[in-house]
Chains A and B, each alone.
Chain A
Amino acid sequence: GIQVEQSPPDLILQEGANSTLRCNFSDSVNNLQWFHQNPWGQLINLFYIPSGTKQNGRLSATTVATERYSLLYISSSQTTDSGVYFCAVERDYGGSQGNLIFGKGTKLSVKP
């Protein structure tokens, strides 16, 4: 099956710093999403981005499908950005099953 690798596994930032999280995947995808899981366990969808670039406030994401990676940028980080960031993909085999494969996540801690 498709492999999803996220890096770095852990990241500690000072408030106000910028960061880049990476997601590598091993096959062509037709679905790629970024999620934030806050310290209380709640999962929030950040981006649906199988290709191209999107921005939402301080967050932006870029997926280069031909090179099989996606990047999540966090600018001017805040303590509320702390949590785990997951990348999830579905392999493109011509159909769609809704079977998103999740990476193990990047745990981000933003210190005040």
Chain B
Amino acid sequence: NAGVTQTPKFRILKIGQSMTLQCTQDMNHNYMYWYRQDPGMGLKLIYYSVGAGITDKGEVPNGYNVSRSTTEDFPLRLELAAPSQTSVYFCASSYSMRGSGGELFFGEGSRLTVL
């Protein structure tokens, strides 16, 4: 039972490069989320998805794109990387958005540095 798996765990990008952070979950959760965590801060929601084919913006979506073609996978794409995107990225999933099953389960995080 792997839970939420993110790859890569570490990555260094040059300004202007693009990359995709992969996220997959094996818990058959409908809801998936991407957060970023800056040093000394809490997490901020980038994008979320309520099911395959449905995504929506969170609090800080600029500079990112997502897709949800399957229940299991929710990749996050960074286009034209900027130093402001240096952060730790967390993917999470939940069975529902609230109530029983609303608990979030997180991946181990992906540390991205843009130089």
Are the CB atoms of A99 and B58 closer together than 8 Å? yes
CA–CA, A102 and B106, complex, Å: 14
Q: Would you give the 0/1 interface string for B39-57, flagging 1 where the beta carbon is closer than 8 Å to chain A?
A: 0111111001010000010
Are the CB atoms of B98 and A90 closer together than 8 Å? yes
CA–CA, A4 and B41, complex, Å: 12
Can you list 16 residue pairs at the A/B interface with Cβ under 8 Å?
A30-B98, A31-B102, A33-B102, A33-B103, A33-B104, A50-B98, A86-B42, A96-B98, A98-B31, A99-B48, A99-B58, A100-B104, A101-B59, A104-B40, A104-B41, A104-B42
Which residues of B (17-62) have their CB < 8 Å from a CB of A?
31, 33, 40-45, 48, 50, 56, 58-59
Residues of chain A whose beta carbon lies under 8 Å from any beta carbon of chain B: 4, 30-31, 33, 35, 41-45, 48, 50, 86, 88, 90, 96-105
Query: B74: CB under 8 A from chain A?
Result: no
CA–CA, A90 and B102, complex, Å: 12
Enumerate chain A residues within 8 angstroms of B73, measured Cβ to Cβ: none
Enumerate chain B residues within 8 angstroms of A104, measured Cβ to Cβ: 40-42
Are the CB atoms of A102 and B103 closer together than 8 Å? no
**Pairs A-B, 3 closest by C-beta atoms:** A102-B42, A43-B106, A98-B97
In the assembled complex, the CB of A29 is this many whole angstroms from the nearest CB of chain B, namely 10
